[in-house]
Structure 1
Amino acid sequence: MFTLLISLIVLFSVLLIILILVQNPKGGGISGEFGSAGATQMFGVQKTGDLVEQLTWGFSIAILALVLITNFTVSSGSADATQSVNVEKAATKTVPAAPAPMAPATPAAK
């Protein structure tokens, strides 16, 4: 389950990066390139831009939801399964007792 969630997060992240690179707020990008030819007749420039924007928001929300779901699925496991190796090693180690403090040296009387 964890592997599936991580795979979906990576896939959606790559798709979101591609969508962001396609967008150009100044009217360029892919929606601006296809605006003069067939896309205007079929979808229209505004419709293409709206679709890209909706997909961007959708992938962003999906990534957020998947990250939260992944966090809750990992946290809901047993306490031993989520501990790191260093925490487990530290729990098995014993700390030696501190040496007794030494008495201050007194100068010898003459």
Structure 2
Amino acid sequence: MFTLLISLIVIFSALLVVLILVQNPKGGGISGEFSSSGATQMFGVQKTGDLVEQLTWGFSIAILVLVLVTNFTLSDAKETSTSVNVEKAATKTVPVAPAPVAPKQ
């Protein structure tokens, strides 16, 4: 389950990076590619920008939700199992220091 969640986070993150790189902050980006006369009638510049923006928000929210679910999945696993260091510390015996010798008078 944990591996599946991490894999989805990595895939969505890569897609989000691609979507962000496709956008142009000055209104160009992929919307500018469809600005010719025939493509404007078919796709519409505003709709393309809306789609890219919606996908960006969707992937961002999906990553946030997956990270939270992964955190809760991981914290449930930590409560049921103990650390290897805790187990070793419980079985280890600590040597007792020798009693101090009183000086002779």
Aligned residue runs from structure 1 range 2-81, under 5 A: 2-77=2-77, 79=79, 81=81
Over the matched positions of the two proteins, sequence identity in percent amounts to 82
Shift of 1:8: 0.9
Residue 84 to residue 33, structure 1, CA distance change in 2 (3 Å): farther
Shift of 1:78: 5.2
Residue 32 to residue 79, structure 1, CA distance change in 2 (3 Å): same
SS of aligned partner of 1:25: coil
Q: Once superposed, what is the RMSD of the aligned Cα atoms? A: 2.6
The 2-side partners of 1:88 and 1:45 are apart by 62
The 2-side partners of 1:88 and 1:100 are apart by 29
Structure 2 unaligned segments of length 5 or more: list them. Answer: none
TM-score with structure 1 setting the length:
0.73
SS of aligned partner of 1:24: coil
- How many pairs were matched up? 103
TM-score with structure 2 setting the length:
0.76
Shift of 1:100: 6.2
- State whether residues 34 and 44 of structure 2, in contact with CA within 8 Å, keep that contact through their aligned partners in structure 1: no
The one-letter code of the counterpart of 2:45 is: V
